[in-house]
Amino acid sequence: MTTATDIVLASGRVSLDAAPPPLEPGFVERVQELITTKVEDAIDRMKTRVDPVPVVLVGGGNILVGDRLKGASEVVRPLNGQYGNAIGAAIAQVSGEVDKMWDLSRLTRDQAIPEARHLAVERALVAGARRDTIQIVDVEEVPLAYLPSNALRIRVKAAGDLD
């Protein structure tokens, strides 16, 4: 099975402690174009304005694209950026989330929201968060007028430091 790393090695753009696999050059070029297009599409979806923006590439996958990307004013690869994913995972908080429809003919909105918050906290605890660090980071309410009963969709996310 050919990996993205095989493609970048075969292209000769980077060298690692592995020999480049014998791949047909046209195949390598087509896959590189596909990877680049997907990254450029992701950049366009994340941008908040039409103008090109600086793009910072971190993690092991930062080697998969070149130094010029559509939608990017510049491509930045920080020193030791290849460790970005591992560092992010190590310092990331643990979360718990509840996304549930509540029947408001059985309880009120003022009862449903605290219950949803409690469930999200409990799920964060089960995931390994320390209770004293857990905070509610997002609450979303969506009235469901298209249902015959009085229903409310509540989504709550809680996050805290790893225990």
Q: pLDDT digit string (tens) for 80-103?
A: 888 888 877 778 899 999 999 999
Shared domain for 81 and 97, answered yes or no, is no
Q: Which of 72, 87, 102 is at the close of a domain?
A: 87
- Angle at which helix 25-46 crosses helix 4-11, to 10 degrees, equals 120
pLDDT per position as a tens digit, 145-158? 777 778 999 999 99
Shared domain for 60 and 109, answered yes or no, is no
pTM above 0.75, yes or no: no
Query: What is the distance between the alpha carbons of residues 108 and 110, in angstroms, rounded to a whole number?
Result: 5
Among 116, 118, 109, which Cα is nearest to 150's?
109
Shared domain for 120 and 156, answered yes or no, is yes
Shared domain for 10 and 49, answered yes or no, is yes
Residue range of the domain that includes 71: 4-87
Shared domain for 78 and 103, answered yes or no, is no
Amino acid at 60: G
Q: Which of 87, 108, 135 is at the close of a domain?
A: 87
CA atoms in the 13 A half-sphere facing the CB of 118? 5
- Look at the alpha carbons of 143, 147, 150, 154 in this order and tell me if their dihedral is positive or negative: negative
Which three-class secondary structure state does DSSP give residue 157? strand
pLDDT of the residue at 146: 77
Shared domain for 55 and 103, answered yes or no, is no
Q: Give residues with Cβ within 8 angstroms of 46, minimum separation 6.
A: none
Shared domain for 106 and 67, answered yes or no, is no
Length of the chain: 163
Using an 8 Å Cβ cutoff, are 116 and 100 in contact? Answer: yes
Structure tokens at 146: 């298209």
Query: Per-residue confidence at 162, pLDDT binned at 50, 70, 90?
Result: confident
Shared domain for 67 and 104, answered yes or no, is no
Q: Which of 58, 87, 116 is at the close of a domain?
A: 87
- Could you give the number of structural domains in the chain? 2
Shared domain for 82 and 39, answered yes or no, is yes
Shared domain for 99 and 60, answered yes or no, is no
